[in-house]
Amino acid sequence: MTSTPSNGSRTYLFSIVLVAIIGGLLFGYDTAVISGAEQALDQFFRTATDFTYTSWLHGFTASSALVGCVIGGAISGLLASRLGRKRSLIVAAILFFLSAVGSWWPESGILPYGEASLPLLVLFNIYRIIGGVGVGLASALCPMYIAEISPARIRGTLVSCNQFAIIFGMLVVYFVNYLIRNNLGETAEAIQTAMVEIGWRRMFLSEAYPAGAFLLLILLVPETPRFLALKGKDAKAFAVLERINGTAEARTVLAEIKSTVHERRERLFSYGVTVIVIGILLSFFQQAIGINVVLYYAPRIFANMGFSGDASMLQTVVMGVVNILFTVVAIFTVDRVGRKPLLMIGSTGMMIGMAALAALSFTDSIGIAALVFIILYTASFMMSWGPICWVLISEIFPNTIRSQAVAVAVAAQWISNFLVSATFPSLCGWSVGGTYCIYAFMSLLSALFVWRWVPETKGKTLEQMSALWRRS
C-alpha cells in the first residue's frame, strides 16, 4: 500500500475503510447471533432448579444486548473525545471478543459447567450486555471514523458501506448458525439435544473469530486527521491526509480543519439546539417507521400471513437478498442523487408498503401480495433510511461537537429501537392493521421532517458544517 503524494492513494483509503466496516459487520453479527440460539437457551435455562425461568426472563435474556447498546451509544462520545476514534474502536473490539467468549462459557471457571442456575443466567446476561456496549460503540464510531477519514466527494458512499457490512454480518451469522445446527447430529431429536448442550455456545463463540481479526487489524489503521488536528498533532494529521488525498488537497483540508480547532472545547449546544434535535429525530424516525419490527418479528409476521415451515424460511431469504441489493443501490447513488432525495423517496415507498399491509390485514387478505409490499417496504428502507441516516449522523455535526452529538443521536436510536420493538407485540394484540397504520403515518412524518428540516450535505466538507449551523 504505497502512497502517492501528488494525488493520494485510493488503495490506502479503501483498505482503511475496509478495516473500519468490520466493526459494522460485528454490529450486525452480534445483534443477530441470538436468533439461532434463543430457543435452545430457553430450554437450557428452564432446567434450572433454583429459580423459574419465565417468559419475561427469556424475553430480557434474548434482548439484554440492547441495554448495552444504549450504554455504548451514550458513552461513545466521551470515549471518542478522550481516547480518540481509533482507540475507542479498539475498546469495542475487545468488548466484542470478551462477550463472544463469555457467552460461550458463562460459567467462567466459577460455576459448574452445564448446570443452569440463576447465577449463570446473571453472568450470561452480563456478557451479552458487554457485547451490546461494543455494538453501541461501533454503531457510533465506525461511521464517524469513516466520515472523518474520507474525502467529501465520496464520503457518503464509503459511510454507506458500513450499513452494507451490518446487513452482511446478519446474513453471515444466519448462515453460520445454520451450519452449526446442522452439524450437531443426524436426526432432528439429536440436533435439538445437542443445541441445548453445546449448540448455542458454539454460535456465540463463532463471533470471537471476526472480533479477534478486527482487534488485530484496527491496530494497523491511523487515527483520523480531524481528531489529530483537534489535539494539536498537525504533522500527523497532514501525513494521513497527504497519503489519502495527495499533497495539495491535504494542505487545503488541513487548513479547513485548523480553522475550527480554536473552538475545540465547545459545548454540545454551541451551534444551537436545532442541529442536536435534527440528529435525535433522524435516529427516532429511523426506528419509528418500524424497520426493526419487520426484521426482528419477520417469522411472526409471515405466520400471520399464513406462511410456515420452508415457505417462511424462503421469505426470510428473499428479504435478506433484497436488503443487500438495495443497500448497494444506496451506496452507488448517495453521492450522486444526494441525501434528502433518497430519504424522501424511501419514506414514500415505506408509507405505501405499510399502508398496503394495513389494508390487507383489515381485509384478511394474505399471500403473495403481502410479501410484495413487505419487500417494497424493506427495499425502500435499505436504499434510504438504513444507510443514509448513519451517513447524516456521522457528517451533519460540526467537528468540535461531533463526538458528543453523535453519542446523543446514537443513544436516542437505541432507545427508540427498544421502545418500538418492545411495544410491537402489545400493539398487535390491539390491532395488527392499526399497528401498520401507525408505521405508515410515521413514514409520512419522516418525509415531511426531511423536507422541512434536514439540510443537504452532499459534497460538503465536514468543516463546512460549522459555517452551515453558524448561519442557522
Q: Where exactly are the structural domains of the chain?
A: 7-221, 225-261, 266-472
Looking at domain 7-221, its CATH class is mainly alpha
Region of 221 on the Ramachandran plot (φ > 0 left; ψ -120 to 50 alpha; else beta): beta
| 6 within 8 A of 247, measured Cβ to Cβ | yes
**Cα(303)–Cα(305) distance, rounded to whole angstroms?**
5
Q: How confident is the model at residue 317, as a pLDDT? A: 61
Alpha helices by DSSP H, listed for 183-265, are 188-194, 200-205, 208-218, 225-230, 234-245, 247-261
Single-letter amino acid code for the residue at 65: A
- In this structure, the dihedral spanned by the alpha carbons of residues 438, 426, 420 and 290, taken in order and rounded to 10 degrees, is -40
Q: How confident is the model at residue 313, as a pLDDT? A: 46
Single-letter amino acid code for the residue at 30: D
**Cα(99)–Cα(419) distance, rounded to whole angstroms?**
24
**Cα(224)–Cα(59) distance, rounded to whole angstroms?**
39
CA distances from 367 to 97, 162, 302 (A): 42, 34, 9
Q: How confident is the model at residue 69, as a pLDDT? A: 87
CA distances from 407 to 121, 147, 290, 419 (A): 30, 15, 22, 18
* Nearest CA-CA partner of 132 in 63, 190, 55, 85: 63
Q: Which three cell numbers stand for residue 226?
A: 480531524
Q: Do domains 7-221 and 266-472 have the same CATH topology?
A: yes
Q: Which three cell numbers stand for residue 35?
A: 436468533
Alpha helices by DSSP H, listed for 383-454, are 385-395, 402-430, 432-453
pLDDT in tens, the chain (472 residues): 444 456 777 888 999 999 999 988 988 888 778 777 877 888 899 998 988 888 778 777 877 888 898 899 888 888 988 898 999 999 999 999 999 999 999 998 898 888 989 999 999 999 999 999 998 898 889 988 998 888 878 887 888 888 788 888 887 887 788 788 878 877 778 878 888 888 889 999 999 999 999 999 999 999 988 888 888 888 998 898 888 888 888 888 888 777 766 545 567 676 778 888 999 999 999 988 888 767 655 555 565 555 554 454 456 566 777 888 888 888 888 888 888 999 999 999 999 999 998 888 888 766 677 778 888 998 999 889 988 888 888 788 887 777 788 888 888 888 888 787 777 767 777 887 888 899 999 999 999 999 999 888 887 777 777 777 776 5
| 181 within 8 A of 36, measured Cβ to Cβ | yes
**SS3 for 456?**
coil
**φ, ψ for residue 238 (rounded to 5)?**
-65, -40
Half-sphere exposure of 129 (CA within 13 A, CB side): 13
Q: How confident is the model at residue 16, as a pLDDT? A: 92
- In this structure, the dihedral spanned by the alpha carbons of residues 306, 311, 313 and 318, taken in order and rounded to 10 degrees, is -100
* Nearest CA-CA partner of 469 in 450, 449, 453: 453
Q: How confident is the model at residue 301, as a pLDDT? A: 58
What is the full DSSP assignment across 280-294?
A: HHHHHHHHHT-HHHH
| 287 within 8 A of 443, measured Cβ to Cβ | no
> Alpha carbon 425 to chain centroid distance?
23
**Cα(374)–Cα(420) distance, rounded to whole angstroms?**
18
* Nearest CA-CA partner of 145 in 70, 213, 214, 225: 225
**φ, ψ for residue 271 (rounded to 5)?**
-105, 15
CATH of 266-472, one of 2.60.120.10, 1.20.1250.20, 2.40.50.140, 1.20.1260.10: 1.20.1250.20
Q: How confident is the model at residue 5, as a pLDDT? A: 53
- In this structure, the dihedral spanned by the alpha carbons of residues 296, 298, 301 and 306, taken in order and rounded to 10 degrees, is -150
Q: Which helix (H) or strand (E) holds 84?
A: none
